[in-house]
């Protein structure tokens, strides 16, 4: 298996532009997570999907951020409009497991990340 | 809700010395526990996990951790570290009914020659 795939690996954009980050989870995994990592704030969970349904989006910083999971093999995280303070490394992770009654061990497999720089 | 406290933000140690990275957690329900490692410019990868059974868990690269329910701790240990162990280490806890993990703030392990 190729693992979790993220694209692009690096993105440099100007303030005000729309940014779309993409993620392909590991086949067979039913949970998908988007994280943001910065020196100041560490690793933050932005949103969590289970069986393609958003379960917890309490970490999404504001309305400029949106995430979708149209099917089990693809997810996007969009920032519109982008701001310099959005500069960070964004990770996607997937796991097998989920809500009560669904077997799994919740070990998360992380992608290599997208380094976003907003100037 | 769960929370994780990694008691040391930075741990410097000399090569071939033993190391312990400390992790305490709180939860009102049964949990799974994890340690992840992040090398520079990479994503996190699993070192080891505790799901049930033996409280001493062995992972990759010679690391092990012990689950202590009474002290709500899950400390990571290695008897002899290498330069290549220099990385950031994250402790994480997942409630067995939640599906998501709560991560600690990370501990930077620096191994010096």
| Per-residue pLDDT, B94 | 86
* pLDDT surpasses 50 at A70: yes
Chain B CB within 8 Å of residue A5 CB:
no
The residue of chain B with its CA nearest to that of A36 is B43
Q: In whole numbers, what is the pLDDT of chain B averaged over residues?
A: 93
Residues in chain B: 113
CB contact under 8 A, B49 and A107: yes
CB contact under 8 A, A48 and B51: no
Please tell me the distance from the alpha carbon of residue A98 to that of residue B97, in angstroms, as a whole number: 7
CB contact under 8 A, B99 and A93: no
Residue A94 CB coordination number (10 Å): 24
CB contact under 8 A, A110 and B103: no
Which residues lie below 8 Å from residue B106, measured CB to CB, with a gap of 6+? A42, A43, B6, B9, B38, B88, B89, B90
**Residue A9's pLDDT band (cuts 50, 70, 90):** very high
The angle subtended at Cα A9 by Cα A112 and Cα A62, nearest 5°, is 90
Q: Can you tell me which residue has the tokens 């990592």?
A: A37
Percent of chain B with pLDDT over 70: 96
* pLDDT surpasses 70 at A1: no
Q: Which two tokens stand for residue B81?
A: 């570290």
CB contact under 8 A, B99 and A107: no
Which positions 14-43 of A are in contact with B (Cβ < 8 Å)?
Answer: 31, 33, 42-43
Q: Averaging pLDDT over each range in A92-106, B69-83, B88-102, which range is the top one?
A: B69-83
| Per-residue pLDDT, A100 | 47
Helices (H), B8-100: none
Cross-chain CB nearest to A50 (options B45, B92, B99): B99
CA A113 to chain B, closest CA, distance in angstroms equals: 6
Region label for B50, one of left (φ > 0), alpha (ψ between -120 and 50) or beta (otherwise): beta
Contacts of A43 in chain B (CB under 8 A): 44, 90, 103, 106
| Per-residue pLDDT, A104 | 58
Higher-scoring residue by pLDDT: B97, B35:
B35
CB contact under 8 A, A48 and B99: yes
Half-sphere exposure of B2 (CA within 13 A, CB side): 24
User: Do A98 and A31 touch, CB atoms closer than 8 A?
Assistant: yes
Mean pLDDT of A78-102: 85
**Residue A101's pLDDT band (cuts 50, 70, 90):** very low
Backbone angles phi, psi at A52, to 5 degrees: 70, 5
């Amino acid at each position: 298996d190729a693992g979790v795939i993220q694209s692009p690996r690096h993105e440099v954009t100007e303030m005000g532009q729309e940014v779309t980050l993409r993620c392909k989870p590991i086949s067979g995994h039913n949970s998908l997570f988007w994280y943001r990592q910065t020196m100041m704030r560490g690793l933050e969970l932005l949103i969590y999907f289970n069986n393609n349904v958003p379960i917890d989006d309490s970490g999404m910083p504001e309305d400029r951020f949106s995430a979708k999971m149209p099917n089990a093999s693809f997810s996007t995280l969009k920032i519109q409009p982008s701001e310099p303070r959005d500069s960070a490394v964004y990770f996607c992770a997937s796991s097998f497991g989920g809500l009560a009654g669904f077997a799994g061990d919740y070990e998360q497999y992380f992608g290599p990340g997208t380094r976003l720089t907003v100037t | 809700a769960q929370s994780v406290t990694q008691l040391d933000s930075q741990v410097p140690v000399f090569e071939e010395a033993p190391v312990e990275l400390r992790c305490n957690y709180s939860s009102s329900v049964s949990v799974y526990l994890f340690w992840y490692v992040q090398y520079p410019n990479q994503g996190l990868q699993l070192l080891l996990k505790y799901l049930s059974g033996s409280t001493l868990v062995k992972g990759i690269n010679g690391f092990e951790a012990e689950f202590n329910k009474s002290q709500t701790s899950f400390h990571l240990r290695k008897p002899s570290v290498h330069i290549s162990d220099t990385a950031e280490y994250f402790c994480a806890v997942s409630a067995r009914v939640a599906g998501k993990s709560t991560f600690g703030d990370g501990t930077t392990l620096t191994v010096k020659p």
